[in-house]
Structure 1
Amino acid sequence: MKITEHIKNAKGKTLFSFELLPPAKGQGIQSIFQTMDELMEFKPPFIDVTYHREDYLYKEHGNGLLERVSYRKRPGTVAICAAIINKYKVDAVPHLICGGFTKEETENALIDLNFLGIDNVLALRGDAQRGEPNFIPTPGGHAYATDLLQQVVDMNNGKYLHEDVESSEKTDFCVGVAGYPEKHFESPNFNTDFKWLKKKVEMGAEFIVTQMFFNVDKYKEFVVKCRDNGIHVPIIPGLKPLTSKKQLITLPRVFHLDIPEELSDAVDSCKNNADVRAVGQEWLVQQCKELIDFGAPVLHFYTMSNPGPTKKIVEQLA
């Protein structure tokens, strides 16, 4: 079922959904199942599964030659989504990214997803490769999320990369895109970033999932601006609890977001991570209550495949 249909069927009730990371290289599917087992009591209508590009290092040999070695790779998102659907009978939403994939590889992934009956995808540019200061497109791949979105829309219209494709069957993916209540860090200003978001919706994006935030007013302002400018698709807030003092530095650096002074001061005064988790939990529970009152269609939790903190929060809301 499409995300938009889940939201429509909820008839105004706020749903819960969760994002999982594929297990690290060498780990089995059981780690995914263990996480899912803890979250299924909240009846999520869908589960997001992230996509990760390979990272490489260069190994120098005695003859002076360098060998590129893949050292960081996670198992296939497509297969994980199929396993989740088969075992738990909930919809899985695979992330599609530009970095690390050619257009042909993306088309093949979409063909597989369509074959498996997966109805939704989240189209993202993805991050720069580890060690690179800027995003560099993969040769033969997409440079922007809009290009990736266009490829999915094209396949929904029966248009494939090559005219000699044997089947021109139309796919029917419900496509989501990312939204940034505090703007994308590479955009020169919020309005420019917003214009690109509007373009994605005009191209065919049917729902938006936001970057995590810790100030509900930022989400509310973002939604109001969307509605005032003709963007009427569901806008799903992305959420994550603070669980350590270190995140006061890492989250703003990695995700380019602001942490409200009241929250950062409370975390900074904690004596240990147990205290931080309590503060983070209390803050996010209040965020969620405000979002439910505001009419957020779904509360989407970035679990980082650690369901414990998220579960404690949702227990207070379900």
Structure 2
Amino acid sequence: MSPPSLIQATAPSVHSAPTALSYELFPPKNQAAEATLWNTIRELESTNPDYVSVTYGANGSNRDTAVQLLNRLLTETSLLPLAHLTCVGNTAEELEGIISELLDHGVRGILALRGDLPQGAPAEPRHGSLAYAQDLVELIRRVEQRRSALLCAGKVAIGVAAYPARHPESPSIEHDVEVLLAKQRSGADFAITQVFFHADQYKDLVNRARRAGVSIPIIPGVMPLTSLRRVQRLGVITGVEPSTSLLDALARADDAAESRRIGVKVTVELARAALDAGAPGIHLYTFNEHAAALEVLDKLQLLRPGRPAVHPRASTIAAGTSRLVRA
């Protein structure tokens, strides 16, 4: 699919901010997957996202590959990476080393997650390992404080997860909000939601969170719901029940093109409902595929600030004016 078109637009009011745009990527498992990923990266880069998140395997299983991808994003693209980091299975000392390594490489954004132990790992946590994302947020802030001179007194942006539907291990949705508030108090700057399948779930989450005192931005995470198999698997992994109407429609689809049309339509409806509810941005789970993500953005027509479309070290830098991104 061709890159999104950019339409000149009047600059937004000084009292409002453009809609944030970000993507999730994961490290490739082989050379063929790496070639596909970098084609996707170049396509997504043309939309001038605010950042791209890079996932991190359970217990750091693909740490080296993730760091390599982060390095390439920093040195070969104009993209700002947000590094996923999980704490389960790692001690504070080990995590301090990983955080320092990320900062040394130039990463300035970390998505702090609890994570799950990989299959086959002991049921009992290692002695000294961190148990919750809140602990990881506090650890990142401690490392940041010790390195404040190296960061020119700057601040690391810390994101956390939020759950529009009840977390499968949580006793209630109220408890989920209490956990989100605790992560904010520990130093989280923003939250990205788990995938949701019903339009009212994001709005309900934000209303509950604001009533409880959560003030950080809560960014809806949406995935192009174009594959029946992927939607079903996602429901199992997250413990979130997919929409029955979506499952039925995807099951009746005659071919991949029809599945994509159905999935893009539903995804756009979910994203628009979140934006109408006041969402400050959209985070797209891409599965390292750009076509459906660009089609979703093309229909959303997000107001975006103009930015250089290529890495600053390149010879040509695009002009910067406020634009509408059709991606």
Partner deviation per Cα, 1:289-317 (whole Å, 9 max, x = no partner): 22233331111011111222212211222
2:88 touches 2:132 (CA, 8 Å); kept in 1? Answer: no
Residues of 1 paired with 2:80 and 2:194: CA distance? 21
Aligned AA (2:132): Y
Q: Which has the higher contact order (CA 8 A, sep 6+)?
A: 2
Change in Cα spacing, 1:29 to 1:171, as seen in structure 2 (3 Å) is farther
Amino acid in the other structure paired with 2:226: T
Q: 1:102 aligns with which of 87, 91, 114?
A: 91
* Among candidates 62, 79, 82, match of residue 93 of structure 1: 82
Match among 124, 142, 147 for residue 113 of structure 2:
124
Q: In 2, are the aligned partners of 1:245 and 1:273 still within 8 Å (CA)?
A: no
Report the 3-state secondary structure (helix = DSSP H, G, I; strand = E; otherwise coil) of the residue aligned with 2:194: strand
Deviates more, 1:169-178 or 1:274-283: 169-178
Alignment RMSD (CA, Å): 2.9
1:112: Cα distance to partner? Answer: 2.0
Q: Which segments of 5 or more consecutive residues in structure 1 lack a partner in the other structure?
A: 1-7, 56-71, 161-166
1:207-246 to 2 correspondence within 5 Å? Answer: 207-246=190-229
Contact 2:59 2:116 in 1 (8 A): no
Q: Classify the secondary structure of the residue corresponding to 2:46.
A: helix
Q: Is the 8 A contact 1:49 1:94 kept in 2?
A: yes
2:275 alignment counterpart: 292
Residue identity opposite 1:207 in structure 2: F
Q: Is the 8 A contact 1:281 1:313 kept in 2?
A: yes
**In 2, Cα distance between the equivalents of 1:188 and 1:218?**
18
SS at 1:90 equivalent: coil
Gaps of 5+ in 2: 1-12, 301-325
Note if contact 2:59-2:88 (Cα within 8 Å) is conserved in structure 1: no
What is the alpha-carbon distance in structure 2 between the residues aligned to residue 179 and residue 91 of structure 1? 22
Which residue number corresponds to residue 158 of structure 2? 175
Q: 1:1-318, aligned counterparts within 5 Å?
A: 11-24=16-29, 30-53=35-58, 73=62, 75-131=64-120, 136-158=124-146, 172-317=155-300, 318=326
Q: Distance in 2 between matches of 1:48 and 1:271?
A: 34
Q: CA-to-partner distance for each residue in 1:250-309, whole Å, 9 max, x for gaps?
A: 121111112223322322322333322211111111222222333311110111112222
**Cα deviations across residues 127-159 of structure 1 (Å, max 9, x unaligned)?**
231256x97534543122122112112223329
- Figure out how many residues of one structure are paired with residues of the other and give that number: 288
User: Aligned equivalents of 1:110 and 1:74: distance in 2?
Assistant: 12
Aligned partners of 1:279 and 1:168: how far apart in 2? Answer: 46
- 8 A contact 2:87–2:113 mirrored in 1: yes
Are the counterparts in 2 of residues 99 and 136 from structure 1 also a CA contact under 8 Å? no
Post-superposition offset of 1:230: 1.3
Q: Write the distance in 2 (CA, Å) between the matches of 1:291 and 1:282.
A: 14
Q: TM-score, normalised by structure 2?
A: 0.79
